[in-house]
């Protein structure tokens, strides 16, 4: 769980935790473009307090998504020891698509941060890139994934698939079909 900075007063820590709780709820209901004023109001604080804790929307998104990122990182470490490296990579990519589709607008935010190293969301993106890179390298070393595949491209593809699925809610199998098509292109000859 995203933890408030150490040394924070008890009341500030409570505000921090309430802001995160309300942001999760607002993002789940209204997507990542949810009103930050509404988040602050629901947490019982002013907008200035929200911005003292989270100076940008990306900083708030990053804090909200740290738990999911932690789960994905743990999962990547587990999969590094799986007997079939390509299957491990595929499993993790499927979980990435699921994660990116968790909140409406997250896939778009993740796609846009992939080239913006200054964004607070990069704090979540960098560990994911390293974890996925390790799974990819293992599959490439096993000769099951083409050598010219890059982790940045795979992550962009998973975010694009999640975005396509988000835009087509009437087709619950779309993400899996698109990921399957993508994965066929990864296989080594």
Give the pLDDT confidence score for residue 133 in this predicted structure.
97
Check pLDDT > 80 for residue 139. yes
Check pLDDT > 60 for residue 27. yes
Query: Is residue 71 within 8 Å of 59, Cβ to Cβ?
Result: no
Cα–Cα distance between 105 and 61 in angstroms, integer?
A: 11
Beta bridge partners of 187: 145
Check pLDDT > 60 for residue 73. yes
For the stretch 82-138, pLDDT in tens is 999 999 999 999 998 988 877 777 777 777 766 666 666 777 778 889 999 999 999
Check pLDDT > 80 for residue 164. yes
Give the pLDDT confidence score for residue 22 in this predicted structure.
95
Give the lowest-confidence range in 25-39, 96-110, 175-189: 96-110
């Amino acid at each position: 769980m995203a933890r408030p900075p150490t040394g924070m007063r008890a009341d500030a820590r409570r505000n921090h935790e309430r802001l995160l709780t309300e942001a999760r709820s607002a993002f789940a209901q209204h997507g990542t473009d949810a009103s930050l004023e509404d988040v602050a109001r629901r947490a019982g604080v002013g907008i200035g307090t929200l911005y003292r804790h989270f100076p940008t929307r990306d900083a708030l998104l990053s804090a909200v998504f740290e738990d999911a990122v932690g789960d994905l990182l743990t999962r990547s470490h587990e999969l590094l020891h799986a007997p079939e490296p390509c299957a491990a990579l595929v499993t993790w990519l499927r979980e990435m698509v699921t994660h990116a589709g968790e909140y409406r607008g997250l896939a778009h935010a993740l796609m846009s941060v992939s080239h913006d190293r200054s964004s607070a969301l990069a704090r979540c993106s960098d560990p994911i890139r390293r974890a996925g890179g390790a799974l990819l390298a293992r599959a490439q070393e096993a000769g099951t994934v083409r050598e010219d595949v890059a982790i940045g491209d795979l992550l962009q593809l998973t975010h694009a698939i999640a975005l396509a699925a988000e835009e087509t809610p009437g087709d619950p199998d779309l993400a899996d079909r698109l990921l399957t098509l993508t994965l066929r292109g990864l296989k080594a000859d």
